[in-house]
Amino acid sequence: MYKVGFIGLGNMGYAILKGLLRTDSKDNFTFTEISDERKSALSKELNVKYSNNNIELIKNSKYIVLAVKPQVYKEVMEEIKEYLTPENIIITIAPGFDINTVKLLLGSNVRVVRSMPNTPALVGEGMSAVCFSDDKFENKEIEDIKNIFLSFGEIEILEEKLMDAIVPISGSSPAYIYMLIEAMADGGVLMGLPRKLAYKLASQSVLGSAKMVLETNTHPGELKDAVCSPGGTTIEAVATLEKYNFRSSIIEAMTSAYNKAKNMK
């Protein structure tokens, strides 16, 4: 029996499976994909066996990761609900689908883990938030689930009422950071830097800044102040960012993502 089966293997499912393959045997995993061509290509690339359909996968997997687009969640759950057993545990990764909604679609006895990972899982630096349904989980099962997410980054176990807030702050936020890196690199190119070098300088600066926050446990505002010399170039840049509502635009964007997540069922 496979330990983990992925229904769908898009960007997020692919990132999670790649993380798992760094820490566990390929024989513990399987997946389905709607495109036969993509299914064969992924199986060859990852050296992981695929299942012919979702029902076959359900019957032969312990943990079921619903890694399809949110728009087809209901369709997939309708297809698989009659084949689930008490041994199965459903792991969702889509925004907006709370545990009660999943149980209404799959049955009240189904055990559910609601999660929100992000795509840096692909390089082992994912950030995932996880919550459990009010069902009995064996200690081994809880450890297995933790290890699934730890295989590609960090995990926080939260109350479900906080899960929608995870979408804008970590689920969607890599996109904001990529936009920041791209904009910084564009600025560097405007000033004469080669583009490849500009991307490297911007990316490493973002990486290093994040590590400073995590490893020094210092408030980001204090770290920002330490870079801003009186009358210097950095405070000039910060003043310009404030003029154009840098921080408030990020908060507004996160609020938009949060509201969207709450209305995606």
Query: Same domain for 120 and 139?
Result: yes
Query: Same domain for 23 and 146?
Result: yes
Last residue of a domain, one of 132, 166, 200: 166
Query: Same domain for 29 and 120?
Result: yes
Last residue of a domain, one of 104, 131, 166: 166
Query: Same domain for 123 and 8?
Result: yes
Q: What is the pLDDT of residue 1?
A: 64
Query: Same domain for 9 and 39?
Result: yes
CATH of the domain at 152: 3.40.50.720
Q: How far apart are CA 126 and CA 230, in angstroms?
A: 37
Angle ∠(256,74,101) on CA atoms, nearest 5: 70
Query: Same domain for 157 and 197?
Result: no
Q: What is the pLDDT of residue 208?
A: 97
Mark 48-75 as b/e (b = at least 16 C-beta within 10 Å): bebbeebeebbeebebbbbbbebeebee
DSSP conformation letters of the chain:
-EEEEEE--SHHHHHHHHHHHTTS-GGGEEEE-S-HHHHHHHHHHHT-PBPSSHHHHHHTEEEEEE-S-GGGHHHHHHHHGGG--TT-EEEE--TT--HHHHHHHH-TT-EEEEEE--GGGGGT-EEEEEEE-SS---HHHHHHHHHHHHTTEEEEE--GGGHHHHIIIIISHHHHHHHHHHHHHHHHHHTT--HHHHHHHHHHHHHHHHHHHHHH---HHHHHHHH--TTSHHHHHHHHHHHTTHHHHHHHHHHHHHHHHHT--
Count of structural domains within the chain: 2
pTM above threshold 0.75: yes
Binding residue positions for NADPH: 54
Contact present, 73 and 46 (Cβ < 8 Å):
no
Query: Same domain for 154 and 206?
Result: no
Last residue of a domain, one of 143, 166, 189: 166
Query: Same domain for 179 and 144?
Result: no
Query: Same domain for 91 and 26?
Result: yes
Query: Same domain for 6 and 128?
Result: yes
Query: Same domain for 43 and 140?
Result: yes
Binding residue positions: 7-12, 54, 67-70
Query: Same domain for 6 and 118?
Result: yes
Q: 157-207, pLDDT tens digit by residue?
A: 999 999 999 999 999 999 999 999 999 999 999 999 999 999 999 999 999
Its domain, for residue 203, covers: 171-262
Q: What is the pLDDT of residue 265?
A: 64
Q: Which residues of the chain have pLDDT under 50?
A: none
Binding residue positions for NADP(+): 7-12, 67-70
Q: 68-94, pLDDT tens digit by residue?
A: 988 899 999 999 999 999 999 999 999
CATH of the domain at 191: 1.10.3730.10
